[in-house]
């Protein structure tokens, strides 16, 4: 039998394609599983379980306050994860929408974004302050947002005039 380079090339491509298919469908292949001793959970796996548990509590929450606290727990767990800043941000925002009277999501969000993304934090806090009523049930949350903005302007953004103006607003909201 004569072996030409065409036949070798086709056989190599077929072998490569077969290997790819085996690799791609390996989770569904009925291969025997070896009983290995389970390794202890890593920090990331434990945080993933904590986030999953908190999200299940969100689904089971009956009141807006319960939902907000469950979202807050999930956001704090996501913030502790190495790459969970984006998901933590989303969970904090959902907690603020679930119960607008709470200050805890604002303080968690401030701690999350203060060092790396102060401009984004400024935008979020201004939006929060504009959406809250400054009287009634949401007045404490408005005060927390104004205090966080004043602190942000005083420290990270270094705008003394805005910090003073917001400090006056905080004293009016008290």
* 100 neighbors 142 (Cβ within 8 angstroms): no
pLDDT tens-digit series, residues 48-83: 788 788 888 888 888 999 999 999 998 988 888 877
**Residue 148 pLDDT greater than 90, yes or no:** yes
Asked if residue 29 belongs to a domain, the reply is: no
Same-domain status, 64 and 88? yes
Asked if residue 137 belongs to a domain, the reply is: yes
Asked if residue 49 belongs to a domain, the reply is: yes
pLDDT tens-digit series, residues 92-118: 999 999 999 999 999 999 999 998 899
Same-domain status, 131 and 146? yes
Same-domain status, 105 and 85? no
What is the per-residue DSSP string for 103-153? SHHHHHHHHHHTTT-HHHHHHHHHHHHHHS-SSGGGHHHHHHHHHHHHHHH
Same-domain status, 131 and 143? yes
Number of domains comprising the chain: 2
Distance CA 46, CA 38 (A): 14
Asked if residue 25 belongs to a domain, the reply is: no
Question: Of the residues 51, 67, 99, which one is the last residue of a structural domain?
Answer: 99
Give the residue among 169, 173, 112, 109 at the shortest CA–CA distance from 140: 173
Instruction: Give me the helices (H) in 43-103, please.
Output: 43-60, 64-80, 85-98
Domain hosting 47: range is 43-99
Give the residue among 64, 65, 84, 63 at the shortest CA–CA distance from 75: 84
């Amino acid at each position: 039998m004569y072996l030409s380079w065409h036949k070798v090339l086709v056989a190599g491509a077929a072998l490569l394609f077969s290997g790819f298919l085996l690799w791609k469908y390996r989770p569904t292949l009925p291969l025997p599983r070896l009983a290995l001793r389970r390794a202890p959970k890593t920090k990331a796996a434990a945080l993933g379980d904590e986030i999953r548990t908190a999200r299940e509590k969100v689904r089971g929450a009956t009141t807006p306050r319960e939902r907000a606290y469950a979202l807050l727990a999930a956001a704090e767990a996501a913030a502790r994860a190495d790459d969970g800043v984006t998901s933590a941000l989303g969970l904090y925002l959902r907690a603020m929408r679930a119960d607008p009277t709470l200050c805890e999501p604002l303080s968690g969000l401030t701690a999350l974004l203060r060092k790396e993304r102060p401009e984004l934090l400024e935008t979020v806090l201004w939006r929060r302050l504009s959406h809250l009523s400054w009287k009634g049930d949401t007045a404490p949350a408005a005060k927390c947002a104004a205090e966080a903005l004043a602190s942000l302007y005083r420290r990270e953004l270094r705008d003394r005039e805005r910090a003073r103006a917001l400090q006056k607003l905080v004293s009016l909201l008290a």
